[in-house]
A = this chain, B = another copy of it.
Amino acid sequence: MTTAQAPYKLYYWPVPFRGHFIRFVLAYLEITWEEETDPDTIAELKMLPCPEQPVPFMAPPLLCDREHNFHVNQLQAIMGYLGRKHGLMPDDPVLAALTDKVLGDCGDVLEELTCNCGEAMWSPVGWADFSGKRLPRWMQIFEELGRRHGLSKNAGTLLGTPSLSLADLATAALWHPMCETLPGFSDLLQQEAPLISALTQRVVQIPQIEGLLQQQHTRLGKVYCGGEIEKSIRLMLDTEGLKCNPQGGS
């Protein structure tokens, strides 16, 4: 590795979505990284015959660890690799498994919100079920996990670790971009998962994450996941809204 080169290179579309999970971790660790966000370059890499790819893969994010000339895709694999290498994965096997569970849950929420990354577009009936039932339920799942590990409004972590771990950064990287860019999500999270809402706020107020978000906001604007599916989500939010129940419960 030459000093001119950042230790990591991230290949991802110019949107938050899955990318912010990795950006949150690297920014938190104060590790510099280079980013390839040009859609044509990424699309080309993605379409190469497998033998010509740096690692055979279907879709970004893709991370290169330049020190080891190691490429890996799949968000959960990238997060686990960075977490273990840089001390953000708990040593305790139970907490490590719960971290993987949180990463898996995050992935499921991302897939559901975007109809499997835009494979279909939202219909009002599907949206009503998602926004009125499954989305609140996902929020409650995070809330209850935190509650069981001593998370409070003003302190604590998702898994009760003495300092922030991968699970906290992933939680904030999941909920913050939604709450920031999609109308109504912030209120819904506050209603269904007040401890998670507060944890997310604490994470994004860490100076290096705050700096990242300012820089990304300037660069990307108010985009969430981009593409036709973001238009479909916004159409639903405009016409159907979030089936927010101010009495709580669901």
Contacts and interface: CB of A to CB of B under 8 A. Distances in A.
Interface in A104-135: 104-105, 107-108, 111-112, 115-116, 119-120, 126, 134
A160 to B, nearest CB: 14
Nearest to A57: B141
Given A50-B143, A55-B145, A76-B103, 20 more contacts: A50-B137, A50-B140, A50-B144, A53-B144, A55-B101, A56-B141, A56-B148, A58-B105, A58-B134, A70-B94, A72-B98, A73-B104, A74-B104, A76-B100, A76-B104, A80-B97, A81-B93, A107-B107, A111-B116, A115-B119
A68 interface: yes
A76 B74 CA distance: 12
A219 interface: no
Contacts of A148: 56
Interface in A56-102: 56-58, 68, 70, 72-78, 80-81, 84-85, 93-94, 96-101
A246 interface: no
A116 B119 CA distance: 10
A51 interface: yes
A93 B84 contact: yes
- Please classify the interface of chain A as helix (H, G, I), strand (E, B), loop, or mixed, using the class held by over half of its residues: helix
A33 interface: no
Contacts of A53: 144
Given A50-B143, A108-B58, A111-B111, A100 B74 contact: yes
A99 B77 CA distance: 8
A224 interface: no
A118 to B, nearest CB: 12
A97 B81 contact: yes
Contact of A58 (B50, B77, B78, B141): B141
A74 B84 CA distance: 19
Contacts of A28: none
A61 B137 CA distance: 17
A198 B77 CA distance: 26
A248 to B, nearest CB: 12
Contact of A101 (B77, B115, B142, B147): B77
Contacts of A116: 111-112, 115-116, 119
